[in-house]
Amino acid sequence: MTHLTRNTMKHRLFLFDLDDTLLDFKASEKLSFVRTMQELGLRDGVDGLFQQYQAINTALWKSFEAGAVSKDFLKVERFRKTFETKGIELDSEAASRLYLESLPDTVVLIDGAQHVCETLAAFGEVGVITNGVESIQSRRIASSGLSKHISFVATSESSGYAKPDVRFFEYATKMARSFVKDKTIIVGDRLDADILGANRFGIESCWFNPGRLANESEALPTYEVASLHEILPSLREFAAA
């Protein structure tokens, strides 16, 4: 068991990304996509279709984060484009609705998420920062059982800006009970959103990198972990450094 006290901890505010940091979005995404296709009567070739959808969805999210498209457009366009690419005649608006309705019911926790949030919330403040759809993210957090450890949830919809925009982080930190830059850290899996945002905002960051990928980006994490179980021991090291 990891014992942490205020005397051994540097940070007081912990900003966690949600998808693929606390919640296994890849697992939820696949389950929800398959359910959606089944609801629409499509059962053959779903795995290949999902791979196509993922590529299109990733590109659209990057466009959203760059301010090029709206989230409402993204939610439907990813299905329209997927169906069009494969020559499938299905209703993209119905697919979007069914998929979003399914997501809160397919929540999968990343190993260690419950323990790290509970431990850090006991003496500091845990906030969630997400570019995801606000209504869906709220329901997913509630389904996950993490909400009792989370002080606030900052979304791109409510702030009007998306990670890595500095204005998103200005908005998020105003929601905290107390915010001091050198006592705040962001934990996230995405270099281009979470870590780059932390760099631009001038706070420390921890890159959650379970795949042990090489960092070939301009983003520079302060620390790096491959498992959420490594965060608590690492935070003790932060204080001792």
Please identify every residue annotated as catalytic: 17, 19
46-65 vs 25-39: helix axis angle to the nearest 10?
120
In angstroms, the CA 229 to CA 209 distance is 12
25-39 vs 92-102: helix axis angle to the nearest 10?
130
In angstroms, the CA 156 to CA 131 distance is 5
Do the bridges between strand 184-188 and strand 204-208 make them parallel or antiparallel, or are there none, so unpaired? parallel
In angstroms, the CA 164 to CA 91 distance is 33
Amino acid (one-letter) located at 170: E
- The CA-atom distances, in angstroms, between 195 and each of 26, 200, 206, 218 are 20, 9, 7, 10
CA-wise closest residue to 57 among 71, 43, 44, 46: 71
